[in-house]
């Protein structure tokens, strides 16, 4: 008789240099001192209720902008936007990168790895700015989901390690905008997971979703049951 038991996995101990197991690509827009807008692609982000934690370098241009203005927009890229994300991948909104020296840590790392100073990120990536409603930074029209947000908390990371210079920024989502074609029919405030196709960063490679593999038991809890825990301001109305 043929056994249907799956073989026991052979686990190996490794020491990864990065731990990007697979998270959505976020294009963060912030306001520059000259009132133009910067865009930074990142994937170290996670949500709980209407709060999002962003893991960023403490001296990155986006971090400096966000700490100064307390405002940003979290634009979620779709799996059709890899070209635009790659156009932004090795760019910086800080001209200081051009002259960074070895003792300047992360800035020097960027310079040595070919980062390019780009002031007009929208033009460089062929993206379209849209006016936000509650914050100053522009939204990105091409992104199917855009969350206007404000900074509510700053937390130093890696205080027990030799490598420092990273912080976690807690932002509160104030208003959420989505493309009509990813909304769930008949539900005013829901995104249809069968229509939403996020761009995923997994170990420095870009992926899309390959289709549903099953439903979570958590789906038995209605989405509206969570609203009391998030107090989010969502889309009004529905079709």
User: Per residue in 104-135, pLDDT tens?
Assistant: 455 555 655 567 788 899 999 999 999 999 99
The burial of 20, by beta-carbon neighbours within 10 Å (0-12 exposed, 13-18 middle, 19 or more buried), is given as: middle
Q: How many CB atoms lie within 10 A of CB 102?
A: 9
CA distances from 195 to 43, 185, 233, 237 (A): 21, 11, 22, 19
CA distances from 143 to 75, 134, 179, 180 (A): 6, 18, 8, 12
Of 198, 193, 187, which Cα lies nearest the Cα of 224? 187
Tell me the pLDDT tens digit for each residue of 154-184. 999 888 877 667 899 999 999 999 999 999 9
> What does the alpha-carbon distance between residue 52 and residue 54 come to, in Å, rounded to a whole number?
6
Q: For residues 46-58, give the mean pLDDT.
A: 94
Domain residue extents for the chain: 23-210
pLDDT at 110: 60
* Structure tokens given for 238: 């529905």
Instruction: Report domain 23-210's class.
Output: mainly beta
State yes or no: pLDDT of 24 exceeds 70: yes
State yes or no: pLDDT of 188 exceeds 60: yes
Q: Which of 58-67, 97-106, 110-119, 195-204 has the lowest mean pLDDT?
A: 97-106
* 95-91-67 Cα angle (round to 5): 65
Kindly state the helix (H) or strand (E) to which residue 52 belongs, with its residue range: strand 51-57
Pairing outcome for strands 26-31 and 71-76: antiparallel
Q: How many residues does the chain have?
A: 239
pLDDT at 203: 87
């Amino acid at each position: 008789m043929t056994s249907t038991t799956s073989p026991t996995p052979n686990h190996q101990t490794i020491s990864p240099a990065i731990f990007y197991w697979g998270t959505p690509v976020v294009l963060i827009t912030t306001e520059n001192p000259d009132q133009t807008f910067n865009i930074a692609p990142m994937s170290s982000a996670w949500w709980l209720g209407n709060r999002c934690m962003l893991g960023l370098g403490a001296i990155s241009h986006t971090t400096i902008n966000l700490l100064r203005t307390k405002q940003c927009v979290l634009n979620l890229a779709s799996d059709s936007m890899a070209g635009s994300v790659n156009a932004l991948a090795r760019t910086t909104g800080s001209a200081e990168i051009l002259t960074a020296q070895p003792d300047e840590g992360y800035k020097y790392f960027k310079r040595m790895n070919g980062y390019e100073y780009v002031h007009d990120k929208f033009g460089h990536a062929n993206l379209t700015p849209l006016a936000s409603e509650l914050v100053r930074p522009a939204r990105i029209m091409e992104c199917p989901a855009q969350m206007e947000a404000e900074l509510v908390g700053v937390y130093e990371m890696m205080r027990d390690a030799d490598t420092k210079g990273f912080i976690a920024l807690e932002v509160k989502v104030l208003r959420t905008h989505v493309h009509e074609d990813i909304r769930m029919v008949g539900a005013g405030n829901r995104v249809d997971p069968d229509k939403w196709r996020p761009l995923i960063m997994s170990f420095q490679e870009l992926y899309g979703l390959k289709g549903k593999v099953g439903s979570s038991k958590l789906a038995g809890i209605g989405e509206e049951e969570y609203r009391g825990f998030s107090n989010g301001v969502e889309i009004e109305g529905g079709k």
